[in-house]
Amino acid sequence: MDARFFLALSLCFFFFLFFFPHVSHSRARISDVIPKKQTVGSLIRMKRGPSSATFDPSRVSQLSWSPRAFIYKNFLSEEECDHLINLAKDKLEVSMVADNDSGKSIKSEVRTSSGMFLSKAQDEVVSNIESKIAAWTFLPIENGEAMQILHYENGQKYEPHFDYFHDKANQELGGHRVATVLMYLSNVEKGGETVFPHAQVKTVEAKDEVLSDCAKNGYSVKPFKGDALLFFSLLPNATTDPNSLHGSCPVIEGEKWSATKWIHVRSFEDSIRQGTSGECKDANANCFTWAKAGECEKNPVYMVGSEDLPGFCRKSCKVCSS
């Protein structure tokens, strides 16, 4: 072979590798991945222990880049929605907010819903939903808090707020909240929209959707049973995103049920474990109140925990001594 021709050919080859480096790697990667993950059509299956969750990217659309927000149509089935409501409905308490300075949970006019926390992997349905959230967000289950179920009726709302914390105590638990997955468990006849007052979006919801006045104060998402909204409270450079400000508009007609999964920068489970290992500490500012309300007996998985995964309120439940 002519040496010049060979040189030219080699240069072409390196040129190709330089601009399309992924081509040379993709084969190796695919074979690495296949044993752990099966791909069926557009469904991505991810395994975690005995349960497996599917995530269908064709049902996800991007709503806004500022904040980064996405909607997943029919993320939960009717049955999953009803199941979550049933787990929660006898255990609702007035919702609280975190005090800016101390991080303590306090009652506030800005939040008038009632709610409760499930336990992580409380049952198979909850555990499957948690796997599905991890598959969709690409964020591990251990970074998530336990799901919170919320109930809003006539006039109840949550004024615009941030999901990231302003106080140090809460930030120590797994770092900032990076993302929130908000699942709508019911339809709402009127009101109850999730509103982002600072969103930089030009597009508005379809015209036939009747929005409440509150919802017109920004970019709004109308709740539909089974849909899930994912938004990020941190920017890609890991600073807090002021445009992630969001609220729940007052319910005008009907009632609203939702489930929230907050996901942190680091492992939330690890920080709970570290926070409690050896030391007799509560990991949530509500522990004392919850313990007084009998939650140590009613909700032992979350409150007391096990040896492997100590609960959040061991001190208030008096299962350790300092």
Chain residues binding ligand NAG by CB under 6 A are 100, 166, 235, 237, 239
Residues 291, 313 contacting (CB under 8 angstroms): yes
| Shortest Å, Cβ 146 to ligand NAG | 24
Task: Report d(CA 122, CA 127) in Å as an integer.
Answer: 7
Among residues 29 and 107, whose Cβ is nearest to ligand NAG? 107
Nearest approach, Cβ of 152 to ligand NAG (angstroms)? 20
Supply the minimum distance, in Å, between the C-beta of residue 67 and ligand NAG.
11
Q: Least separation, in Å, of the C-beta of 161 and ligand NAG?
A: 8
Rounded to the nearest angstrom, the gap between the alpha carbon of residue 73 and the centroid of all alpha carbons in its chain is 16
Q: Considering the complex, what minimum distance in angstroms separates the CB of residue 95 from ligand NAG?
A: 14
Q: Which is nearer to ligand NAG, 109 or 208 (CB)?
A: 109
Shortest CB 262 distance to ligand NAG, Å = 17
Looking at beta carbons only, is 61 or 239 nearer to ligand NAG? 239
**CA dihedral angle for residue 192, residue 198, residue 202, residue 205, rounded to 10 degrees:** 0
Measured CA distances, 255 to 54, 180, 191, 279 (Å): 29, 22, 9, 42
Q: Which residue number, 21 or 242, has a Cβ lying nearer to ligand NAG?
A: 242
In sequence order, what are the residues at sequence separation of 6 or more whose Cβ sits closer than 8 angstroms to the Cβ of residue 314? 276, 280, 281, 282, 303, 304, 305, 320
| Cβ proximity to ligand NAG, 99 vs 172, nearer residue | 99
Beta carbon nearer to ligand NAG, 9 or 110 = 110
Nearer to ligand NAG, 167 or 172 (CB): 167
Which is nearest to 179 in space by CA: 117, 140, 137? 137
Q: How far is the CB of 108 from ligand NAG (least distance, A)?
A: 7
Cβ atoms 187, 222 nearer than 8 A: no
Closest CB 64 distance from ligand NAG, rounded Å: 14
Task: Between 77 and 239, name the residue whose CB sits nearer to ligand NAG.
Answer: 239
Cβ atoms of 12 and 19 closer than 8 Å: no
Place of tokens 């500022």: 66
